Amino acid sequence: MGNKVGIVNRTNLKNFGSVLQVYALCAVVRKLGYTSEVVWQKGNMSKNFDIRPNKIIKTALKLFMHPSLLWSTIKTIKEVKSQVIDERKVKMFDDFVSDHFDQAFYNPDELVEIATSDKYCKFICGSDQVWCTTTLYPDPMMYLRFVPKEKRISYAPSLGRNYIPNYNRKILKKYITDIPCLSVREDEGHRLIKELTGREALVVADPTLLLKSTDWNMLKIEIETPKNYVLCYFLDAPSDNVKKAICKYVRESNQDIVILGKLEYLEYSKARIHNFIAGPGEFLSLIDKANMVITDSYHGMLFAINYHKKFWSVERAYSQFDQSSRQLTVLSRLGLEERYVKADFNFTDSDIDYVSVQAKIDEFVLLSKNYLKKSIEQ
């Protein structure tokens, strides 16, 4: 049996956390003494849309059986198609993936063949929201259905929601039950899997926490920034109350604002507001040089913690469901629950005891690495 581990995840998303968590998992597997490779099904993507016939057919059948889901699906497709990503950002991400990932592409028949051969000793699915419970098509790839059962490992997948809809309960129960080495990223995922299958999934650290800031510094791409700034990284446009609180804080602390993502119409000097186009390397540099990070991003929060920054994690502006378990699972373990804010936004300059926090991170990381090591070895 070889010592290569196949990682099943997505590297095509233009999202900092999505790409960096895959990088981290590959890197940690290498640190454990194995080679790692991201495994893809060949020809399944076109312009960032999954065009596998099986997926299209099964999604259409599910919509036919559950017509109430049709309008939300149309809305999601329209939102995805309406998103315009700056070509400079696309190139930054594509260059990062090209420079830092080993990837292998196989057609469906080849996938089954290589999975049963000695080429790969184990396969890992995760991390991130690869097990989203409300998807119309629970992707068999992301549950390692092409892999012999004894080679399957999940590492920190997120279920993405705080419930499992009836239309997915049967298939998800089968898929998850068939993974012998089972872990998840959030407490909510642990609860849902226990309720669905009766199994205890170990809650482990997001892969990005398994590397230290000194590891991440090797990937940084330095860019010119203001001397003193607050990094504001938002995946969803925040409320007016959040924007007012940001402006109040930077005005009182005499700092600039560096923006990544969706943040507009701030009542602050335009000369002190800086919008950046960034890839993963530039993102790490912006985190490292910031005086404070204010974000609704899960990975924005994690990298602020990894770099020992003052930060505030803001509830993301969802209207349909609560996803706070992602942030709160980590923050409660580290004794940082007060850094998560839903209302009464008041971004103060209060210090964080990172000596205590780092000790708790080290404990969580040790548990997580031990799980990963034992799962690969067994």
- Residue 244 and residue 197 share a domain: no
CATH number at residue 257: 3.40.50
> 356 in a domain, yes or no?
no
Q: How far is CA 162 from the centre of its chain?
A: 16
Strands (E), 126-185: 152-154, 183-184
Domain membership of residue 352 (yes or no) is no
Angle at 287 between CA 283 and CA 289, to 5 degrees: 115
What backbone torsions phi and psi does residue 3 show, to the nearest 5 degrees? -115, 25
Is the residue at 100 inside a domain? yes
> Are residues 165 and 66 part of one domain?
yes
Residue 316 lies in a domain: yes
pLDDT of residue 46: 46
Which range of residues forms the domain containing residue 180? 4-211+366-377
On whether both 53 and 192 belong to a single domain, the answer is yes
Same domain, 82 and 23: yes
Q: Which of 126-130, 244-248, 274-278, 295-299 has the lowest mean pLDDT?
A: 126-130
Same domain, 193 and 263: no
Residues 193 and 339 in one domain: no
Q: How many residues does this entry show for the chain?
A: 378
Q: What is the mean pLDDT of residues 82-98?
A: 89
Instruction: State how beta strands 183-184 and 202-203 pair.
Output: parallel
- Number of domains the chain is built from: 2
- Does one domain contain both 19 and 141? yes
173/224 same-domain check: no
pLDDT band at 75 (very low <50, low <70, confident <90, very high): low
> Is 361 among the domain residues?
no
In angstroms, rounded to a whole number, what is the distance separating the alpha carbons of residues 260 and 51? 30
Instruction: State what percent of residues in the chain have pLDDT above 70.
Output: 89
Residues 159 and 262 in one domain: no
Verify that 240 and 339 share a domain, yes or no: yes
| Mean pLDDT, range 164-183, rounded to an integer | 97
Single out the residue of 313, 320, 309, 279 nearest to residue 294, CA to CA: 313
- Whole-model pTM? 0.91
Whole-number pLDDT of residue 79: 60
Same domain, 200 and 58: yes
159 lies in the same domain as 227: no
Residue 139 placed within a domain: yes
